[in-house]
Amino acid sequence: MITTVIFDMDGVIVDSEPIHQALEFEMFEELGLVISEEEHKTYVGSSSIDMWNRIREKHHLKKAPEELLLYGRAKYWDALERHRVPMVTGSKELIVDFNDNGFIVQVASSATRPTVDKVIEHFQLQNYFAHRIGGNEVKKSKPNPEIFLRAAKQSNSHPEKCLVIEDSTNGVIAAKEAGMLCIGYVNPGTGKQDLSQADLVISRMNEITIDVIRSIS
């Protein structure tokens, strides 16, 4: 029986992948990097520091990943304050529904914890989440399962009692490696992602109901 629901943030709670992509490609241009959309897709779902480390190694970048992470964060926070980052349709209603029905509701995002807190508070969702965890609070980024296993430990839940909602290939792989049920959300803004390992794939948040959760658990 599922007792804990773990939400990814970018692309699941907030429809942020298009603005992330736009801002990252702006940074690539500023840095003189030529990165294809195909390469960029491989970074979706992983942490910013992991992305910049991989880019630095592959493209022989001289700037420190930590410096680029802070610069990118500032650009994203500015976009958030300018209301350029909408919520995913139906995500708030789903979060409230899970909370009202007694589930432990968590956020486990590859974004840094300060950004997780910023987004959750910006949309006034802080009362619905029992725990939050950001990508800078774990040693290994998705597709490694560490972040989800840590989320389970935070809520004193066994992994088999956890359900993860993800929109990226890396996130789905991490959830399944953690031994958890996973719903893959097809978000057009995230780009083409392989969600085939998910236990259920949806294209709208209102497809997730308590009865659906019970049927796949």
Which residues 6+ apart lie within 8 Å of 27 measured at CB? 68, 71, 72, 75
According to the model, what pLDDT value does residue 14 have? 98
CA atoms within 13 A on the CB side of 163: 25
Other beta carbons less than 10 A from residue 117's beta carbon:
15
According to the model, what pLDDT value does residue 17 have? 86
According to the model, what pLDDT value does residue 47 have? 81
**Assigned token pair, 184:** 């893959």
In whole angstroms, what is the distance from residue 112 CA to residue 67 CA? 14
In whole angstroms, what is the distance from residue 27 CA to residue 14 CA? 22
- Stretches in the chain below the pLDDT threshold 70: none
How is residue 86 annotated by DSSP? P
**What pTM did the predictor assign?**
0.89
For the four alpha carbons of 188, 74, 71 and 125, in that order, the dihedral sign comes to negative
According to the model, what pLDDT value does residue 43 have? 86
Which residues 6+ apart lie within 8 Å of 95 measured at CB? 7, 13, 105, 125, 128, 129
Please choose, from the candidates 172, 132, 126, 175, the residue with its C-alpha nearest in 3D space to the C-alpha of residue 155.
Answer: 132
Which residues 6+ apart lie within 8 Å of 42 measured at CB? none
In whole angstroms, what is the distance from residue 164 CA to residue 85 CA? 22
In whole angstroms, what is the distance from residue 174 CA to residue 45 CA? 10
**Residue found under tokens 């236990």:** 199
According to the model, what pLDDT value does residue 185 have? 98
